[in-house]
Amino acid sequence: MTAAVVQAVMMSLVPVTVYLVVSAAASGRLPRNRWIGLRTTASLSSGMAWRAGHAVALRRLGWSVFAGVAGALLICGNLLFTDSVRAGFLPLGLVIMMLVTIFQAGARGVQAAALVEAASGHR
């Protein structure tokens, strides 16, 4: 049961944390850095590229938050109503959806940052 609770917490905590970090970077509250955020040559080339890349990524991350929270709720509901630690394959599918969406958002953000970098002539 403890493992299922930890899984539920992590399923909701990971995408929400990613969303909050990307949101802070897109708004400029999180400055360019080499530790957290989209850290590519293109995104680190200028403040405009940093914010643009994160803004594009942010638009796609809502689905990862939905998938993570929905999976966590399914696991918790399963624990409450069935006393079983097995939640089935649906939470696994939601984890896959969450991770794919996070990686897709990152890839789109990197592309956007590269476009901004190319347009501003920082190469």
Q: What is the count of structural domains for the chain?
A: 1
Q: 73-109 pLDDT, tens per residue?
A: 888 888 888 766 566 667 778 888 899 999 999 999 9
Q: 21-59 pLDDT, tens per residue?
A: 999 999 999 999 999 999 999 999 999 999 999 999 999
Which tokens go with 2? 């403890």
For tokens 């638009």, name the residue: 59
| Domain encompassing residue 19 | 2-120
Supply the DSSP string of 54-76, one letter for each residue: HHHHHHHHHHHHHHHHHHHHHHH
Q: What is the pTM of this model?
A: 0.84
